[in-house]
Structure 1
């Protein structure tokens, strides 16, 4: 009789929905490998396309020649963004948590923005002082050649977009968004996640020598700490973009001296 009573409907036979879950250490690491592999494939596809478009050969010499081209670098960096977003979407969809919430894509206060900018200026300024005191270049030497090459192809604007917008977006979504979120909720905890995600981010910049890698690591630690304290990946994306834009302008200015 209860089945005919509208005030007492029968219990649903459907299983309850799975609760949201966060990928822990190994899940984050394995998906992180797939995210990086997708980004790498997107960039390689651009390089292969550029070699074929220029009538070159798929050889070590041909790859080296094209990779040093400013236009190719710009296009490859841009190609990495949609690939990263695609795999992130698949990975996060399985957690039943929204894309924005999982990656910390939330706003923050102007106070945090100012603190972040000032902290970054102090850190980068300190590294510049150390670099000058040691008689080293303030910016990596090859970056000047990349800028000149992009300018020759009338693609300097594209290089700026790639370095100051696309690269900060996918690198921060990967390191401070994906890696930090999963690892911070594992046994590593927030501080272990900050350190490990910063190390991974540093390894992604092996085109630099040891001195600039140390600088990248400290910037990564700063970004990771700000991600932890504010809960906002948008903040680190903004700071990363400003840092890359400032470095691009500085390199362009020094290359013109």
Structure 2
């Protein structure tokens, strides 16, 4: 009769905790727009600040002039990293899954790293051979201009950190971490997620022409497949960083 005793109320029964959940196709897509928007805002804020700092007009012409500057590009790329991390934390927090687990931030074996490096080298080497055979430049021309501009400002080291460090981290966390995780557990399945996330990642590189976009797409497919086979986003981050570092060194060498 304790339940009827007002001095001894029944013990409160706590509801069971909600189970973890993964955002599926539309949740991943909509949150993906939010994450990309956060990155865009961070980069634009840096560009606007650089325009105002140089005393230029806040117009299309003024922004275009500043965007071609190697120092500004480096700072804007670096600014994208904390914005993406913050937006990812907000999106993942509601899933009740640890941040690292959701994004596949687990290390992999040295064997997988070697396989990834070899596969990437073969793929990019093949594209370089096709490019030379077609009489095209091996690297996009604007990369040489950006590198020269950064070198003239004494910011070459910052450009290397941005291109080979910050950009690979936030791009891979977004494409092979966030997009792949959610879409692979939707009706798309792993292979559909590999293809769609690679397409989205390619669209993030519209500064290139169609030839280099095709190369970017093929690299995205390789990274997606490695993410699927190893379950490690750290692997694709390392490979992405090595690729960007090699491209930066190659550009520096070819431009003298």
Per the normalisation by structure 1, the TM-score is 0.96
| 1:119-166 CA distance string (max 9 Å, x none) | 000000000000000000000001101000000110000000000000
* Structure 2: gaps (5+ residues): 4-9
Two-structure CA RMSD over aligned residues (Å): 1.0
* Structure 1: gaps (5+ residues): 4-9
| Residue 29 in structure 1 maps to residue 29 in structure 2 | yes
* Superposed displacement of residue 12, structure 1: 4.3
| Whole-Å separation in 2 of the counterparts to 1:107 and 1:2 | 55
Per the normalisation by structure 2, the TM-score is 0.96
| 1:183-232 CA distance string (max 9 Å, x none) | 00000000000000000000000000000000000000000000000000
Aligned counterpart, 2:254: 254
| Residue 89 in structure 1 maps to residue 89 in structure 2 | yes
| Whole-Å separation in 1 of the counterparts to 2:141 and 2:72 | 18
| Whole-Å separation in 2 of the counterparts to 1:157 and 1:11 | 63
User: What secondary structure is seen at the aligned counterpart in 2 of 1:97?
Assistant: coil
| Whole-Å separation in 1 of the counterparts to 2:235 and 2:11 | 46
Aligned counterpart, 1:52: 52
Aligned counterpart, 2:7: none
1:194 to 1:2, Cα distance in 2 relative to 1, 3 A = farther
* Superposed displacement of residue 13, structure 1: 2.2
- Matching of residues 169-248 of structure 1 within 5 Å: 169-248=169-248
| Whole-Å separation in 2 of the counterparts to 1:23 and 1:63 | 37
Aligned counterpart, 1:17: 17
Aligned counterpart, 2:118: 118
| Whole-Å separation in 2 of the counterparts to 1:217 and 1:44 | 25
* Superposed displacement of residue 57, structure 1: 0.5
1:129 to 1:21, Cα distance in 2 relative to 1, 3 A = same
